[in-house]
Structure 1
Amino acid sequence: MPNRGRGRGRGRGRGGGRGGRGRGRGRGQQPAKTPQDEVKDVILDIDKDIKEYFVGTATIDQHYDAQEKNCNRYVAGMAVMQRNGVEISQNARIRALAAAWARKDFALADSFLKNTDNFGLIEVLKALTLLDSSRKIRVEEKKLKRLHIQQCKPKPKTLGKVKAEINNLTENKPKMGSASGALCKRLKKWVRQLSKDELEFYALHFPTDPWKKLADVCHFNPKKDFPNLPWFLPFCYGGPAPEESMVFRCKEVTAENVNSLIMEFDIPYTHLKDQKNMLSVESKARIAKYTPKIDTLLWYYEDLECEEVDKIIEARLTAGEQVTLNYGKLMERLLKFKIMRENTNTRVDDWGGGDDWGSEPVKTETPVTVSNRAMFIERLIPLAQKQLEGLSLPLEQPIVVIGDASPSMNVAIRTSTIIASFLTAITSAKLVFFDSVNRDAPFIPTNIEEVLKMALTIQTAGATAPAASLYPFYERKEVVKTFIIVTDEEENTSFQGYRFLPLFKKYHEEVYPAKLVFISFLHSQHAQGHMVRALQAEGISVMQFKLDGGRPDLTKMENLIGQLSSESVSFEEEVKKLEVEIATNKTTMSFDQLLL
């Protein structure tokens, strides 16, 4: 299955809302506010604000200026952030590519496009659309002129839509660059490199509109520009796929034909998911054999689980096939496999839960029954351990990780415990938990098996008093330089007469001005938690990373590590080192190589 585009076929980046441009309706309707509006008056300097270009909403003109001023630093910063696991926003990727094209730095643009996980069809189309703004404005202005001179008076709603489109296009129009013939020639070359499998994947899974829009600007030739699948472009415009092709046969997968189609074609599993309950054991085994990446089998294991699939996964791992899931995704899978093997949702086997926390360990009388499911987990744990040992987080020590084990964290308790345990393991931190009181962790996790064990033993109980875990350090006047707090930011009771904010202010003034890092499980990425909001209102600096409390997601851990790392002194050192390397190897280095 191709990596290009990674499922972004709907074409909505983080910076845009539903409907994209042209949201004005009727007379006097103003175009919706765009990210450009929010940052057009903000002055960014590539030498000082490097992270803002890639996680914020910098405009295309700001990206253009940064590349012009110090391209080596720009590329180094982007590469180091990706190396460290920071997710570069889609808007940033689009504008970085558009700026490189506008500057006619085709070498940089081509190296971006080699990084197919981050620069796919949607990034290409939206970058080209930005550069095509001037032509589109002229088209809309001619349309507006025709409306004004026509005999029948146009409807206000019609005029409003055209004017809103002109306003939106003008707002986003870059100061330099266009969809020139030279650029279109390079895009034709990019398209010709797409393989038959990739194009079939697009035909099966993606809307055809993006391809039509790209073709309308670049004037693709169906045969010359798509030599590996000449029927692809006509198909995008409504033509049929050949009857013998997988696209034709598999366009409609049903409960009745799914198993026979699998025996005939190597159909990507993502196209079969809707019929997962109808898959036979033979079909599951065949999918496990032909799926190119073992990562896909691990990710969808619950759908395909059977003894035959287990054997195939085990054989592929034994043969040395590489698992490329990042640490967060791999940990999510390991936790799921461990739960499946031990047939449990909750278990307290080494220490007390609820009101017994902190007491003598409670041993189970009956050993845990381990099933034969997902036996390959034993081959995955060393891979995760190797990743863990390769991670570091250069925060000021001593460090204390405070985990929230109150009832409000019931949904996210395992995810939060894994994150708390993981941070403890890579920073050599002290680990505590709170509900209505402070609880010392029963042990300090130092490896993957202990991190998983902790996740399956921590239970929620009591009330919610975050101050309870801070109080012992204040009472002992113990210097802690960094507190990492993993919580949903609920607080419904005091401890020793203190809520968290006033107690932290006393700690800050009387003991040490510690750095605060919040990993907040909130109801949405845009929500504001109570605790961080209150701290910031008092002028206390807080570094925050948000996760969805309703759908806790360990796959974001790599991004979390990267963002925490990017706040450290070592981040700037990495950027400067890579900047020198780029300058030294200017003619031989490409962006995709810098990510290695």
Structure 2
Amino acid sequence: MLKMIAALPHQGRKKAIADAIVGARLAAGEKVDVRGRGRGGYGKLLQAVLGMRKRKSPPAFLPGLIGTCEKELQALKTKYGENDASIAVLGDCSGSMQVAVETATIVGSLLSSVLRAELVFFNNQLILPPVHPATVGDVLLVTETIRATRSTAPAAALAKWYTTRKKVDLFIVVTDEVENAKFQLDVGGGVAKPVDFAELMEMYLAEVNPEARTFFVSFIDAPPTQLGRMRSALQLRGVPSREFRMDRARPDLTKLGQLLSLLSLDEAIRPAADAAAEAEAEAASVATASASSSDAEAEEAKDGEAAAAAAAASTGAAAGAKEAA
């Protein structure tokens, strides 16, 4: 149905008729085939919703389509949202992201919502979103609010966790990696130190959390074997990082499912699930051992009662024999 919706007329009598037909089908509970051939649906559906909201006369069935989008989001939360890791998403909204900023904001908002991560944006300074994106309505608000402007200083976002000494297990940086400015870090005494992302990450690992990991969702046009500017800078400092690439000119939102699957395997997220499984297994083991112990005690008590009864019977028989004699 999504292809049909995209091809609907934007105005006139035909639009009203088409809106009524689609609205009736959505109201009847008909599913929107947003995946097709196993392709991810939420991103493309949200992109369609954003496009419709930009029209002078949005279709009457738009609320129903947003409801379908909400179901897709909740399904992703159910599948990927179970983790105890502390995650931060840093979204690039600098001027160099002009083409991909909407997609990057959708990606950042989705990751924040599904993984229960803290979301911030950056250009040459830290930018906080208007809301934490928990619902589709929140994601739409964030996506329609954030605009691409100014230079690129990703350290401005990372400084939020460095200066507060807050531990984060996984930093997800959504960016084109075109870092072209340093952040003036307040080091006390009225002194500011210019730092780039790699230097500040090295400082964060040394002073706050040495176990923190960095994952890039990179919008770059380069061979897969060629590292982006920010990852190269991290590598020079001996800081490892991982990456999921998206085409900068034509970012494909059908890949969001692949991205979430890859992130779910990251060591910063997996230990939480593994620990929970181990705790559950240990609890089950303790319960089994306790039950076995209780059964053993019951058997011992039962044997003791039987022995006492046998002894009593033996004593009684002996007394009877003595009286008879």
- Name the TM-score, length of structure 2 as normaliser: 0.70
Q: Which residue of 2 aligns with 1:546?
A: 245
8 A contact 2:9–2:15 mirrored in 1:
no
8 A contact 2:106–2:143 mirrored in 1:
yes
Question: What is the CA–CA distance in structure 2 between the aligned matches of 1:572 and 1:299, rounded to whole Å?
Answer: 40
8 A contact 1:328–1:558 mirrored in 2:
no
Report the CA distance shift for 1:565/1:571 in structure 2 as closer, same or farther (over 3 A): farther
8 A contact 1:424–1:445 mirrored in 2:
yes
The Cα of 1:296 is off from its aligned counterpart by 2.7
1:417 matches 2:116: no
The SS at the match of 2:204 is helix
Could you report, residue by residue, the CA deviation over 1:292-320 in whole angstroms, capped at 9, with x for unpaired residues? Answer: xx233134447998333222222222232
The SS at the match of 1:559 is helix
- Residue identity opposite 1:384 in structure 2: C
The Cα of 1:390 is off from its aligned counterpart by 2.1
Report the CA distance shift for 1:410/1:309 in structure 2 as closer, same or farther (over 3 A): same
The SS at the match of 1:390 is helix
8 A contact 1:437–1:465 mirrored in 2:
yes
After TM superposition, list the pairs within 5 Å mapping 1:367-406 onto structure 2.
371=57, 373-391=58-76, 392-394=80-82, 397-406=85-94
- Residue identity opposite 1:477 in structure 2: R
- Alignment size in residue pairs: 251
The Cα of 1:483 is off from its aligned counterpart by 0.8
The SS at the match of 1:528 is coil
Decide which of 288, 291, 296 is 2:3's aligned counterpart: 296
The SS at the match of 1:433 is strand
Q: Which residue of 2 aligns with 1:563?
A: 262
Question: What is the CA–CA distance in structure 1 between the aligned matches of 2:83 and 2:96, rounded to whole Å?
Answer: 29
- Residue identity opposite 1:510 in structure 2: E
Decide which of 207, 218, 221 is 1:520's aligned counterpart: 218
Greater alpha carbon shift after TM alignment, 559-568 vs 415-424 = 559-568
8 A contact 1:393–1:561 mirrored in 2:
no
Q: Which residue of 1 aligns with 2:154?
A: 466
1:312 matches 2:21: yes
Question: What is the CA–CA distance in structure 2 between the aligned matches of 1:544 and 1:520, rounded to whole Å?
Answer: 7
1:507 matches 2:222: no
Report the CA distance shift for 1:469/1:339 in structure 2 as closer, same or farther (over 3 A): same
Q: Which residue of 2 aligns with 1:481?
A: 169
Decide which of 43, 61, 66 is 1:328's aligned counterpart: 43
Report the CA distance shift for 1:534/1:394 in structure 2 as closer, same or farther (over 3 A): farther
Report the CA distance shift for 1:299/1:483 in structure 2 as closer, same or farther (over 3 A): same
- Name the TM-score, length of structure 1 as normaliser: 0.40
Could you report, residue by residue, the CA deviation over 1:510-553 in whole angstroms, capped at 9, with x for unpaired residues? Answer: 10031111111112563531112222343322121111111123
Question: What is the CA–CA distance in structure 1 between the aligned matches of 2:59 and 2:253, rounded to whole Å?
Answer: 20
The SS at the match of 1:486 is strand
Unmatched segments (≥5 aa) in structure 2: 35-40, 185-193, 275-325
The SS at the match of 2:215 is strand
Question: What is the CA–CA distance in structure 1 between the aligned matches of 2:121 and 2:21, rounded to whole Å?
Answer: 41
1:337 matches 2:52: yes
The RMSD of aligned alpha carbons is 2.6
8 A contact 1:400–1:484 mirrored in 2:
yes
The SS at the match of 2:195 is coil
Could you report, residue by residue, the CA deviation over 1:314-337 in whole angstroms, capped at 9, with x for unpaired residues? Answer: 222223221131212211211112
Question: What is the CA–CA distance in structure 2 between the aligned matches of 1:509 and 1:462, rounded to whole Å?
Answer: 30
8 A contact 2:19–2:60 mirrored in 1:
yes
Q: Which residue of 1 aligns with 2:229?
A: 530
The Cα of 1:433 is off from its aligned counterpart by 1.1
The SS at the match of 1:545 is strand
The Cα of 1:571 is off from its aligned counterpart by 12
Which has more strand, going by share of residues? 2
The Cα of 1:437 is off from its aligned counterpart by 1.1
Unmatched segments (≥5 aa) in structure 1: 1-293, 344-370, 574-596
8 A contact 2:202–2:237 mirrored in 1:
no
Report the CA distance shift for 1:446/1:571 in structure 2 as closer, same or farther (over 3 A): closer
